[in-house]
Amino acid sequence: MAVNKLTFKDYAKKYIFDGMIDGRYKPGDQLNESVLSSELEISRAPIRETLRELTSSGLVEYKPRVGHFVAILSKQEVIDTYMARGVLEGFAAAQCLQGSSGEDISVLEAMPSEMEDLSRKGQLKELIDLGNKFHELLFKGSANKQIVTFTKQLSLISDLLFYEYIGTLYTPREINDRHMEIVESIKDGDARQLEELIRAHYVESGEKIAALIS
């Protein structure tokens, strides 16, 4: 399969992540460099780089002299992941609040109803993609690149867990309401309230998911 050389790593990352979402790679499964290289018809170098990145994000665990494995997350690790994302994203969004334009708010305002519609249709991957666009818009103007990088790393775990448990977490209407609450906070212009709301948004989801893990 021909892939632009500049996108080998991204291609491999998407392939592995989609495999986790689809259940092709389950927690505890080994991710073999040679097998992945053969399946994707690319060299092992971008595979190795991708696995290192996924290890940094917490989705993959590396065992010395054994290899890489899909991480098995504990209840506390799930809670910690969501809490950390809420802290980082809440701070970044609060810092960017004054720079939010009327156009930005209009775009954000239209998204919750789209999320509700996707949830009702069971289009979960599309729902997660739109949810990420919503949340990335909240801190798109952040000058702190470290916060942006770490937030996006944490989103990999939270996206995977959200996909697995969305059916029992929130109703379509609740998804709409939770995100509209954030939009209304932005319109109010209260940075402290926005930061606290986003933190609570993630903490609630993390605790709900942790409660469902056996």
What is the per-residue pLDDT across 1-22, written as a single tens digit (0 to 9) for each? Answer: 445 545 899 999 999 999 999 8
Q: Dihedral, CA atoms, 132, 133, 134, 140, nearest 10 degrees? A: 110
Distance CA 185, CA 125 (A): 27
SS3 label, residue 11: helix
The per-residue pLDDT for range 148-203, each reduced to its tens digit, is 888 988 888 988 998 888 878 999 999 999 999 999 999 999 999 999 999 999 99
Residue ranges of E strands in the chain: 30-31, 60-63, 67-70
Residues 162 and 157: their CA atoms lie apart, in Å, by 8
Q: Which of 29, 33, 31, 67 is nearest to 47 (CA)?
A: 33
Q: In what order do the strands lie in the sheet with 60-63?
A: 30-31, 67-70, 60-63
Under 8 Å between Cβ of 39 and 25: no
Domains present along the chain, CATH in parentheses: 5-70 (1.10.10.10), 75-212 (1.20.120.530)
